[in-house]
Amino acid sequence: MDIVYIRNLRLETIIGIHDWEKQIPRPVIFQLELASDVARAAATDQIADALDYEAITQRLRHVVSTHHFDLIESLAEHCAGILRDEFGVRWLRLSLSKPGAVGDAVDVGVVIERGG
């Protein structure tokens, strides 16, 4: 299986279970591994045949600026659904971390895999 990846995508969003977290945006960090047919894109050398990581980044930036969740689980699932439904990604691994959310930990987060 071929992979298109996006590493350390840092986006600002409002997220958290506490009232004080719902007031101001904070960074979350995405790590994405997305199944893609790299050979097909290489054969045509056309962006239309590639999984466009720029378009995905722009879409996720819009999503996090317009949707506010309590849990990082909810944001991760929402983004996974968009990647599958809008970009046709048949398998993905998405890691979402929240730097500084817990004292004494660099970050906390979730990793989900969806699709087969």
Ligand X SMILES: Nc1nc2c(c(=O)[nH]1)N=C([C@H](O)[C@@H](O)CO)CN2
15-23, 37-45, 55-63, 89-97 -> range binding ligand X (CB under 6 A) = 15-23
Q: Does 21 bind ligand X (CB under 6 A)?
A: yes
Is 98 one of the annotated active-site residues of the chain? yes
**17/48 with CB nearer ligand X:** 17
**Short-list 30, 2, 26, 28, CA closest to 112:** 30
3-state helix, strand, coil in the chain (%, to 5): 40, 35, 25
Do the Cβ atoms of 49 and 42 come closer than 8 Å? Answer: no
Do the Cβ atoms of 86 and 92 come closer than 8 Å? Answer: no
3-11, 16-24, 33-41, 49-57 -> range binding ligand X (CB under 6 A) = 16-24
Q: Identify the active-site residue in 98, 101, 104, 109.
A: 98
Which residues inside 34-93 make contact with ligand X, applying CB under 6 A? 71-73
